[in-house]
Amino acid sequence: MAANAQGIAVGAAMENFSLPDITGKMQTLDGLKGKNGSVVVFLSAQCPVVKAYNERINLIAADYAAKGITFIGINSNSTETLDFVKSDAAIVGYKFPLLIDKGNVFADKLGAAVTPEVYYLDAKNALLYHGAIDNDRSGKVITDQYLRTAFDSSLAGKKIERTKANAFGCSIKRVAK
Amino acid sequence: MFKFSKFLARATTCAALAFVFCGIGFAQGKPSTRKTVKSAKVGSTTVSKVTQINIDGLKKLLKPSGRPLLINFWATWCDPCREEFPDLVRLDAAYKGKIDFITVSLDDLADINTSVPKFLAEMKAEMPAYLLKTPDESAAITMVSKDWKGNLPLTILFNSAGEITYSRNGLVKYDVATAEIDKLLTTTTLPN
């Protein structure tokens, strides 16, 4: 679990990064973030858990785009070709840019390990919440909306009570080293 | 007209179903032993017994029992989990009676009588099988290992004192796993 041991602590600032999107255009965190922050979400074109979450992710992204929080999708899976990722993104219809992390360099830097896995950053790129989107993969019996609750607390100027929550998901498929 | 043969066939099927599923949903928190029956014939299909556990059940399973414990966390929706299962079955066969080996599925509860036992039966898996259902997966993940984020598969080896001596977060490597288990067994005194 070496990759999981690294990472960024809640409260620490994420460095600005630059990655190509699925069209090949370079994008940066500072260029994509909203006035009230951003969410870096690790995705996969193949992972069934991500597929189960895609509709929810798009809904949350749409709800909070209007409140100044933007989503940035990242695909770090070495097993997924660009064509596969592009075709899946077209089917899903992500409402936000999807960036390619070739060689999983960015995932390694953050210690990201799961899909889906989110990093919610404030306007200064400080990490406010890290981990799962909610507490039910199936979406049928969600009793804790971790990410939405973190957004709402932050936007209301309140303390985020739960800043970290893990959930079972797919492994980011890393390149062999 | 009463047909005894049909009655007998139905009675046999009902008894087999009750035998297989009676423990499901009622055995939360109660770890099984390796003597537990793991599969039975229902009609022409062999299905494996999968026991539902909650976080308390997981805690009990993780409690040291005096000998090494190997746990594999998996799900039918996880490609590498399915891919590595034949190696897990080989490990179970190689170390039966020397270590405890259990599997914990993270599938939906709805799959506990269907896709999960079906897959285990296809794999001819004889390890005690559990399915974890908890509203706080984060707590369960941390309970297993503070370094784990919940990505599957995870195969983790505990010594007889409950300390992690080896873990593989990804496709298990059979030779590495056997070397780690062998190393642990050479330093372990099994209980009588």
Note the pLDDT tens digit of each residue in A27-67: 999 999 999 999 999 999 999 999 999 999 999 999 999 99
* Helical segments of A12-156, H only: 29-32, 48-65, 82-92, 105-110, 146-155
CA distance A115 to A88: 15
Give B-chain residues touching A141 at CB under 8 angstroms.
Answer: 135
Q: Which residues is B105 bridged to in the sheet?
A: B74, B131
Write the single-letter amino acid at B158: F
- What average pLDDT score do residues A144-153 get? 98
Chain-chain contact of A113 with B151 (C-beta, under 8 angstroms): yes
CA distance B47 to B20: 8
Residue B46: predicted pLDDT: 54
Q: How confident is the model at residue A131 (pLDDT cuts 50, 70, 90)?
A: very high
Residue B4: predicted pLDDT: 39
Mean pLDDT of chain A: 95
A84 pLDDT exceeds 60?
yes
Spatial neighbors of B174 by CB under 8 A, at least 6 apart, are B87, B90, B91
Give B-chain residues touching A165 at CB under 8 angstroms.
Answer: 138
Give A-chain residues touching B146 at CB under 8 angstroms.
Answer: none
Residue B64: predicted pLDDT: 85
Structure tokens at A98: 């999807």
Chain B touched by A50 (CB under 8 Å): no
Residue B137: predicted pLDDT: 96
Residue B65: predicted pLDDT: 86
Contact A71, A42 (CB under 8 A): no
Across the interface, of B78, B136, B145, the residue whose CB is closest to A1 is B145
For B144-178, write each residue's pLDDT tens digit. 999 999 999 999 999 999 999 999 999 999 999 99
Across the interface, of A1, A132, A171, the residue whose CB is closest to B167 is A1
Residue B39: predicted pLDDT: 58
Residue A6: predicted pLDDT: 62
Give A-chain residues touching B77 at CB under 8 angstroms.
Answer: 48-49
Nearest-CA distance from A54 to chain B in Å? Answer: 16
Residue A176: predicted pLDDT: 86
Return the beta strands (E) in B17-175 as ranges.
39-42, 45-48, 50-53, 69-74, 100-105, 129-132, 151-152, 154-158, 164-168
Chain-chain contact of A144 with B141 (C-beta, under 8 angstroms): no
Nearest-CA distance from B83 to chain A in Å? Answer: 14
CA distance A75 to A119: 14
ipTM, two decimals: 0.91
Residue B32: predicted pLDDT: 38
Task: Tell me the mean pLDDT per 10 residues along chain B, length 192.
Answer: 42 42 35 45 62 98 92 97 98 96 96 96 96 96 96 97 95 97 85 55
Give the number of beta-carbon pairs within 8 Å between A and B: 74
Nearest-CA distance from A25 to chain B in Å? Answer: 30
Structure tokens at A68: 């100044």
Residue B31: predicted pLDDT: 41
Structure tokens at A147: 């990410």
**Listed residue (B171, B166, B84, B173) closest to A174, CA to CA:** B171
Complete edge-to-edge strand list for the sheet that includes strand B100-105: B50-53, B129-132, B100-105, B69-74, B154-158, B164-168
pTM confidence score: 0.86
Q: How confident is the model at residue A72 (pLDDT cuts 50, 70, 90)?
A: very high
What are the two backbone dihedrals, phi and then psi, of residue A7, each rounded to the nearest 5 degrees?
Answer: 135, -170
Chain-chain contact of A144 with B142 (C-beta, under 8 angstroms): no
Task: Return the axis-axis angle of helices B79-95 and B174-186, rounded to nearest 10°.
Answer: 40
CA distance A132 to B135: 13
**Listed residue (B48, B43, B107, B56) closest to B81, CA to CA:** B107
A2 pLDDT exceeds 80?
no
Residue B38: predicted pLDDT: 54
